[in-house]
Structure 1
Amino acid sequence: MLAVAGSLAAVWTLLPPCALLLGAVAFLFCARVLQRRRPKNYPPGPPRLPFVGNLFHLDFERAHLALQRLVKKYGNIFSLDFGDVPSVVITGLPLIKEALVHQDPNFVNRPVIPLRERVFKQNGLIMSNGQVWKEQRRFALTTLRNFGLGKKNLEERIQEEAHHLIQAIEEENGQPFNPHFKINNAVSNIICSITFGERFEYEDGQFRELLRMLDEVTHLEASLWCQLYNAFPRIMNFLPGPHQTLFSNWDKLKLFVARVIENHKRDWNPAETRDFIDAYLKEMEKYKGDVTSSFHEENLIYSTLDLFFAGTETTSTTLRWGLLYLALYPEVQEKVHAEINSVIGPGQQPSTAARTSMPYTNAVIHEVQRMGNIIPLNVPREVVVDTSLAGYHLPKGTMILTNLTALHRDPAEWATPNTFNPEHFLENGQFKKRETFLPFSAVLCQLCSHETSHFLV
């Protein structure tokens, strides 16, 4: 035995450094391949590369379209690895309902990917899990309802902001202009009035910059650079690139929210709750000294930022898609205009109550959301415990992506799946709900649907 060990030591000293390096790389490579073998009865999928997984199987500019080719090859449930993150893509309403409705407790968590971990640290409303998520979600929903979610109070805020937006558009004197940030500002002011207790003027340079950064992080998160960060966080932390811009933007957005909170603290009156931040400060007082409580200032920053982000991007993007489709289909625009004039009349404020009398306009808004497809893979979920789905084994920790693109472009469900056609949501001239229409989560859908309806009208 000693002789063998001596021989190995002699060989080791004779090997050049480059050979040792190559040997180490080969060893790590093989170990990685063996470590990442798919478990038994796991959904099929394309072959994976060590370390990066299936990152290069996707075109990150059109990832949701690239996935449709994989659906044709592997079926309605298949696996992909994003670096170290094992994921499964599910397609079709029966499977989506099975996972997110019938087996919801098994898929309730959000995956903690490195990029989100770096930014949110498992805090807030979107990225938290377990008891923290339940407490924060319950409090946010109750507070939003108290401040008018689904009530006339919110409707009045939207009507007022719509008036400001029309004024800003009229100031362009009929000349071509980019409506992007005017719409962003208008939509954001609705959630800002609830969370911060104030709206921001469209000429406010600081707020325009915040909206620009919010817009930028939305695009950057889907980029290849950010996916590489998820695969190699320790290495990418030291490398320059768009991922560093994303982190810088989120830090500035968090700083803005932190400053608003500090301003609230200066004149805070527990007996007078002006907005979400005041309500949260009051909740924090209840649990003061309780180290196990999830109601603390860091969670206030992240929850407020989540509301700010969710209450701005989805509705704003939907409205811009709406403007595009109305411009591309003038005959649709004409019918919407005629219905508005007939039901509401010139100079009158639109209201939620009028929506039931405006089936065509309602159908157009839904078709804009179907074709706009702004959250093509939904917000990811994570398997909480080892679970069986469609006969396949999904280990705990697997990320679940819901293929909404395939759902909204299914030729078996939609008469003209790839063409803008409001008739998809009409039957005998009346608005028709569609089970296969899932633009985003139910809670967010309720808020965004109300805002979108008012602004578009």
Structure 2
Amino acid sequence: MWLDSLDFNSIALFLVLFILIADYVKNRNPPNYPPGPRALPLLGNFLDFDPKFPHLSFSKLAEIYGNVFSFRFGSAQLVFVCGYKMVKEALVNQADIFVDRPFSPIADRFYSSTGGLFMSSGEKWKKQRRFALSTLRSFGLGKSTMEQCIREEIEYLQEEIQSHKGEQFRPAGLFNNAVSNITCQLVMGKRFNYSDHRFQTMLRYMAEAFHLEGTMWAQLYVSFTWLMKRLPGPHNRMFEDVVKIHEFISEEVENHKKDLDPSNPRDYIDSFIIEMKNTNLAYCAMDLFLAGTETTATTLQWSLIYLIKHPEVQEKVQEEIDRVIEQNRLPTMADRANLPYTDAVVHEIQRIGNIVPLNGMRMASKDTTLGGYFIPKVQNNSTVGVHVLKVYKDSLLPFSAGKRVCLGEGLAKMELFLFIVGLLQKFLFYVLDGEELRTDGVTGATRVPHPFKVCAKVR
């Protein structure tokens, strides 16, 4: 009996030692690797950050370890880069080295190994990005035709807000409707009514997927994929939501094929069917739809929060709008040069809103250095990568930088300016006495405000 107990204890001790040694060998850092907090076996640094405010946790770590530091989620080794100088070094000066995405278990399951438009790499990504830019430009991206689409959508949005007759309403859904319709016009050649049930359902799936992708559940899936695939939890809804969004886009693709005129493409989907001829269309269109809606709509939400919390700023913006545009016409992009204070407020909302504090993952395509530290080349789809933390105290980088700079930057800037001016031109926004708007936000793939209601008084 005593011998059996000794054998069991010996085996258990051996297994523990084996796991510890294997973990050390597997995750041993090369010489001159960026410093970081000491990692626990198997778990890594899960206990060293706040899952509700990860960007703040990483900012604090940057103060301790510098603007280039390492961090470990499970067995996934990451390098965080922050501060304008180092971000520019990685994304601009070494753009060719840090342009590709590392392997992601989430992206692999999202896109069925195709990579879509934003998670693909190499020649596939270059070809798809070039095509997306040229096609969207041909259908109005950055042109007066798209400006006119936004101005028309402003009128729909104004009518919807006015229908509440000064009573409280939640702006989040309305902003999602309005901004998404701009992307729909580019990608699908049409807009949807705000009451369209199918459209509204898809937007809810999109919002939930974006939130879950930035939570601890998603990070656990990345770090312990083999286990999380088999466990219940919110992470499963993330994948279910993406399937539903993909189905929505796929239906639009099939409808386009039924009445396609190869000599007269109507939108991005038509052009993709004609020119690209591959099965990645629905995923690329889905990426444009997701990215083109969530970020701009969320920024508009933050704009209301900060303008209501600072009524003197809202009043000064409206004074400038009244002086330059008055009330008899909608704003145009030509007005921006004559609205310097308003334009500065839009930029400040982007800065303080900080809706994408963590940039998309990058990987090193060859051995290099950042800030004097060694960054090894990623091999065999390992999870070693470079994660860029955008710290805004040095410079404003809401659309990232380098070769993967947001391809919708011009459209987003146009939307933010025109929507904000169009709303403040028409309404005075406020909350009921005794109510307080929160500014801490909920961090997912984007940082969104806590649900809130506002009132709008016609000016």
Indicate the residue corresponding to 1:95 in structure 2: 86
Contact preservation (8 Å) 1:85, 1:113: no
For 2:146, the equivalent position in structure 1 comes to 154
Q: Does 1:437 align with 2:402?
A: no
| Alpha-carbon distance in 1 for matches of 2:295, 2:95 | 24
Give the CA deviation at 1:17.
5.9
Q: Which amino acid aligns with 2:289?
A: F
Give yes or no for the alignment of 1:197 onto 2:189: yes
SS across alignment from 1:39: coil
Residues paired across the two proteins, number: 409
Give the deviation of 1:179 after TM superposition.
Answer: 0.9
Q: State the shift of 1:207 in Å.
A: 1.1
Tell me the equivalent position of 1:403.
389
Counterpart for residue 249 of structure 2:
257
Alpha-carbon shift at residue 29 of structure 1 (Å): 3.0
Q: For the residues of structure 1 that align with 2:105 and 2:369, how far apart are their CA atoms?
A: 26
Amino acid of the structure 2 residue aligned with 1:33: Y
1:271 aligns with 2:257: no
Between structure 1 and structure 2, the one with the greater Rg is 1
Matched, 1:331 2:290: no
Q: Is 1:343–1:357's contact at 8 Å kept on the other side of the alignment?
A: yes
- What do residues 65-85 of structure 1 show as CA deviations (whole Å, max 9, x unaligned)? 111221121111110112232
The alpha-carbon deviation at position 403 of structure 1 amounts to 2.2
1:422 is matched with which residue?
Answer: none
Establish whether residue 179 from structure 1 lines up as the match of residue 171 from structure 2: yes
Q: Tell me the TM-score normalized by structure 2.
A: 0.86
Deviation (angstroms), 1:456: 0.4
Q: Point out which structure has higher relative CO (alpha carbons under 8 A, 6+ apart).
A: 2
Q: Which amino acid aligns with 1:37?
A: R
Tell me: CA distance 1:341–1:386, structure 2 relative to 1, closer, same or farther (3 Å): same
**Deviation for aligned residue 1:19:** 5.5
Q: 1:22 to 1:372 in 2, by over 3 A?
A: same
Tell me how far apart the structure 2 counterparts of residues 354 and 280 of structure 1 sit (CA, whole Å): 35
Once the two structures are superposed, the pairs formed by residues 106-255 of structure 1 within 5 Å of their partners are: 106-120=97-111, 121-255=113-247
d(CA) in 2 for partners of 1:448, 1:55: 35
Instruction: Give the structure 1 partner of residue 410 of structure 2.
Output: 446
Q: Secondary structure at the match of 2:102?
A: coil
Contact kept? 1:122, 1:129, Cα under 8 Å? no
Structure 1 match to 2:278: 296
Gaps of 5+ in 2: 379-383, 422-459
Distance in 2 (CA, whole Å) between partners of 1:383 and 1:71 is 20
State the partner residue of 1:45: 36
For residue 364 of structure 2, what is the aligned residue in structure 1?
A: 383
**Matches of 1:210 and 1:22 in 2, distance apart?**
52
Structure 1 residue matching 2:386: 3-state secondary structure: strand
Post-superposition offset of 1:25? 4.4
The whole-number CA distance in structure 1 between the counterparts of 2:177 and 2:70 is: 39
Structure 1 residues 389, 12: CA separation in 2 closer, same or farther (over 3 Å shift)? farther
Q: What is the DSSP-based 3-state SS (H/G/I as helix, E as strand, rest coil) of the residue aligned with 2:77? A: strand
Residue 111 of structure 1 and its aligned partner are, at CA, apart by 2.1
Tell me the CA shift for residue 21 of structure 1: 5.3
Maintained 8 Å contact 1:84/1:230? no
Rounded to whole Å, the distance in 1 between the matches of 2:190 and 2:41 is 50
Post-superposition shift, 1:122? 4.4
Aligned to 2:292: 311
Residue number in structure 2 paired with 1:367: 348
**Counterpart AA for 1:401:** H
- In the aligned structure 1, how far is the partner of 2:193 from the partner of 2:157? 10
Cα contact 2:107–2:115 (8 A) shared by 1: no
How much does 1:116 deviate? Answer: 1.5
Note closer, same or farther for the CA distance 1:270–1:22 as it changes in structure 2 (3 Å cut).
Answer: farther
Q: Identify the match of residue 392 of structure 1 among 344, 357, 373.
A: 373
What runs of 5+ residues in structure 1 fail to find an aligned partner?
Answer: 1-10, 285-294, 414-435
Which whole-Å CA distance do the structure 1 matches of 2:13 and 2:410 have between them? 57
Which residue number corresponds to residue 56 of structure 1? Answer: 47
Contact 1:71 1:78 in 2 (8 A): yes
Deviation at 1:380, TM superposition (A): 2.0
1:257/1:301 contact within 8 Å kept: yes
Matched-pair contact (CA < 8 Å) for 2:104–2:222: yes
**Distance (whole Å) between structure 2 residues aligned to residue 193 and residue 117 of structure 1:** 28
Cα distance in structure 2, aligned partners of 1:255 and 1:50: 41
1:378–1:440 contact (8 Å) kept in structure 2: no
Residue 56 of structure 1: how far off its partner (Å): 2.3
Which residue matches 1:84?
A: 75
The alpha carbon displacement at 1:187 in A equals 0.2
Name the residue aligned to 1:3.
none
Offset of residue 22 of structure 1 = 5.5
1:117 shift after superposition: 1.5
Counterpart of 2:333? 352
Contact 1:327 1:333 in 2 (8 A): yes
For the aligned residue pairs, the C-alpha RMSD in angstroms reads 1.8
> Is the contact made by 1:89 and 1:401 (CA closer than 8 Å) also made in structure 2?
yes
SS at match of 1:378: strand
CA contact (8 A) 1:228 1:236 kept: yes
CA change 1:345–1:395 in 2 (3 A) is same
Within 2, Cα distance between the matches of 1:283 and 1:83? 42
119-128 or 364-373, which moves further after superposition? Answer: 119-128
